[in-house]
Amino acid sequence: MIHCVCNNINTAKVDEAAHAGACRPKDVLAHHGKAFNCGQCKGSIAERLSCHANRGLILAVSSRQDIALIAAE
Ligand code: FES
């Protein structure tokens, strides 16, 4: 899926930037050496980034549960 038509930023490029630490749409574009033109993509990129943020939270909670289980044994 193309998120940013102006800069040809697709889902794979958003994911790549997220894995490199991008947490805001402008970080995603900066990761690829781009900047906003029309700005129509901000919502779409932000939504994709929220998927990564939610996934990280689940993994963090899951890790703490693992630690708790290990400590309780
Ligand atoms: S669609 Fe991203 S800046 Fe225009």
For the chain, the structural domain boundaries read 2-72
CA of 62 to the centre of ligand 1 (A): 36
Q: pLDDT of 6-40, one tens digit each?
A: 999 999 999 999 999 999 999 999 999 999 999 99
Closest ligand 1 atom to Cα of 9:
2
List the alpha helices (DSSP H) in 1-73. Answer: 11-19, 25-31, 42-72
What's domain 2-72's architecture? Orthogonal Bundle (1.10)
What is residue 51's predicted lDDT score, i.e. its pLDDT? 85
Best residue among 41, 44, 49 to mutate for probing ligand 1, ranked by most atoms within 8 Å of CB: 41
Q: Which residues contact 20 (CB under 8 A, 6 or more apart)?
A: 31
- pTM of structure: 0.77
CA of 53 to the centre of ligand 1 (A): 22
The finding on whether 46 has its CB within 6 A of some atom of ligand 1 is: no
